[in-house]
Copies of this chain bind each other. A is one copy, B any other.
Amino acid sequence: MTDFTRLCIHTMTTKPWSLRETIDGYVRAGVPGITVWRQHVEPVGAEEAGRMLRESELKVVSLCRGGFFPGVTHAKRQLAIEDNKRAIDEAQAIGAPLVVLVCGAVPGMVLGEARKQILDGIAAVLDHAKQAQVKLGIEPLHPMYADSRSAVNTLEQANNMVSALQSPWVGVTVDVYHLWWDPFLQSEIKRAGKTIFSFHVCDWRTPTRDLLNDRGLMGEGCIKIPLIRKWVEEAGFNGPVEVEIFSDEYWATDQVEYVEKIKAAYLKHC
């Protein structure tokens, strides 16, 4: 079986490449989907990035990332709202139907307060998202990021936000790295159902040598990726399988060969 139709790779996975190199590398390797990180858009601008992507005929799956809504002052929260509107505009410009939200956290802020500010922040950009026809995916992050990256750490918390916001433009992003340990993962995936907007894969290494940049290629760790994929598909998700790996180790290797390793791991372990 060599069916890559649902394979998508994040530009952060092949971080050393520019957007131009990434597009060319994925097209050459027969990778049909791309999720674009804003830092790869920034050097060329969203209009030019959109032009390059349309020309490539790659399927643009999402833009990473919006979010980071909580702030200690009203002014900071307002800046975050403005930045999320810009992210939505960028997504529209590059043809991405989805912005993934890393919701944010402020060290020392009570997590319940941060979640309240996140909910308020998403609500404040919903009209903008609807006008741009861009969806928003709330991505729960692993609890080891609860200090500074996201106060949303379980799928239940993300689903609760989706329920509270009641908008067809808001759903969840399920990332196996962040959620594999979640005690209620199966039932919350079922609950999320059609509000699962995207699905990210990589693996959890033992030992994990760095909190941020030591993610494993699928098959290198302990995550039951095919099982979780089965759950999201049973819940109704049939979109791309997005490979999102932050790895100092892999970033230091030849990225052309790395993409081939990703393709092999995708076939064997997803």
**A residues neighboring B (CB under 8 Å):** 107-108, 110-111, 142-144, 146-148, 153-154, 156-157, 180-181, 183, 204, 206-209, 211, 221-222, 224
Contacts and interface: CB of A to CB of B under 8 A. Distances in A.
A148 B221 CA distance: 11
A144 B142 contact: yes
Contacts of A144: 142-144, 208, 211
Which of A146, A181, A207 gathers most chain B CB within 10 Å? A181
A155 B147 CA distance: 19
Main secondary structure of the interface of A (DSSP, over half): loop
A108 to B, nearest CB: 5
A142 B157 CA distance: 18
Contacts of A183: 111, 153-154, 156-157
B108 A143 contact: no
Given A144-B144, A153-B183, A207-B211, 16 more contacts: A107-B206, A108-B222, A111-B181, A111-B183, A142-B143, A143-B144, A144-B208, A144-B211, A146-B180, A146-B181, A147-B208, A147-B221, A147-B222, A153-B181, A208-B211, A211-B211
A221 B147 CA distance: 9
A224 B183 CA distance: 24
A218 to B, nearest CB: 13
14 contacts: A107-B206, A108-B222, A110-B224, A111-B181, A142-B143, A143-B181, A144-B211, A146-B181, A147-B204, A147-B206, A147-B221, A147-B222, A148-B206, A153-B181
